Structure 1
């Protein structure tokens, strides 16, 4: 499959992104596609397909995260974005406690008001309150700056 996406400003300029799912690369720089050869000397035409999808880095089919990231703001700007598929805790020999929904649910956001963002580091403090056998449960993560 070959995706051709000409910029709207020019019909003659074409950006080509080969995706080697169905096409077979040729030694002369062309590529077979749907029974025809597309090469540099043959004019390209825009492929009309309703099913064209853009691939994204670090994206795996079926790996969607159920909640948006937890966002901590400093002076109105995001300084920490925290996202996970699952957040769980186990203390000593107690059963595993799933905190995913409590941490990331937009309906009942976890308290991050004590989180701090500085030039050299950010401290994410998630205060969950009383959760099962835990009283005043909070998780603190110190994130050093990578500048």
Structure 2
């Protein structure tokens, strides 16, 4: 029996909106190159907040048969460059729709209000640094999720 944990990425408004990764290095490379600022075609609905969610899935190979578990969805992240506090309000500098240029809706960074129920963490993609809630790097939601995925393989083999 061969067990392979897999990391699943999804985002509601951008392409590709669903992707699988077998290593955390592949995921980190993908996220550092993912373009939430890409222009898009105009539609009746505005593009939402730049967000993504990570999940884990386990693939089993038993005597030549491949099986997959259900996806267990983990933390939701909002992409931002900066977080500032205005009294009790939290404002994040995140990509939002802007003007239309050459038939495409462009994106730009603007401060938007953020409330705690929107996501588990606010993350800056280029350095994969958590901006909110403030914590040391080893305790960020992203690192905790990757640790959880890497432990899944060993928990199953121990049974």
- Shorter-chain TM-score: what band? under 0.3
- Give the structure-2-normalised TM-score: 0.19
- Give the structure-1-normalised TM-score: 0.20
Report the structure, 1 or 2, having the larger strand content: 2
Please identify the structure whose Cα radius of gyration is greater.
1
